[in-house]
Amino acid sequence: DIQMTQSPASLSTSLEEIVTITCQASQDIGNWLSWYQQRPGKSPQLLIYGATSLADGVPSRFSGSRSGTQFSLKISRLQVEDIGIYYCLQAWRTPWTFGGGTKLELK
């Protein structure tokens, strides 16, 4: 199975800060990576697909990038509604596998 190592596991940050979350794939997955946000008590929601493409309706402060097998999600100016847990997902090979999640909290 492809392992997705996500870091950090948790992050305490402030509003308007820049936040960067990374996922390292254990092998080449091309751009077959997506990012999801899960607010407390809610289902995951798509943010980024194809490593860099912003999903419809997602604010432009979210962006995704790729460098080889390392993927990053950046939130340019954290807002209160961005608090939650973020996951990456690889869909290159079955079984699809998620990163362990990054929990964003406010200081």
Partner 1 sequence: QVQLKESGPGLVQPSQTLSLTCTVSGFSLTSYSVHWVRQHSGRSLEWMGRVWSDGVTSFNSAFTSRLSITRDTSKSQIFLKLNSLQTEDTGTYYCARSYLSHGLPLFDYWGQGVLVTVPS
Contact 91, 84 (CB under 8 A): no
20 phi and psi angles, rounded to 5 deg: -130, 130
Of 19 and 84, the one with the shorter C-beta distance to partner 1 is 84
Q: How far is the CB of 100 from partner 1 (least distance, A)?
A: 6
Residues found near partner 1 in the complex (CB under 8 A)? 31-32, 34, 36, 43-46, 49-50, 53, 55, 85, 87, 89, 91, 94-98, 100-101
Question: Pairing mode, if any, of strands 33-38 and 45-49?
Answer: antiparallel
Separation in Å, CA 34 to CA 23, 65, 71, 81, 104: 10, 11, 10, 20, 18
Of 76 and 96, the one with the shorter C-beta distance to partner 1 is 96
Q: How far is the CB of 96 from partner 1 (least distance, A)?
A: 4
Of 72 and 97, the one with the shorter C-beta distance to partner 1 is 97
- Which tokens hold the place of 93? 């090979």
Q: How far is the CB of 90 from partner 1 (least distance, A)?
A: 10
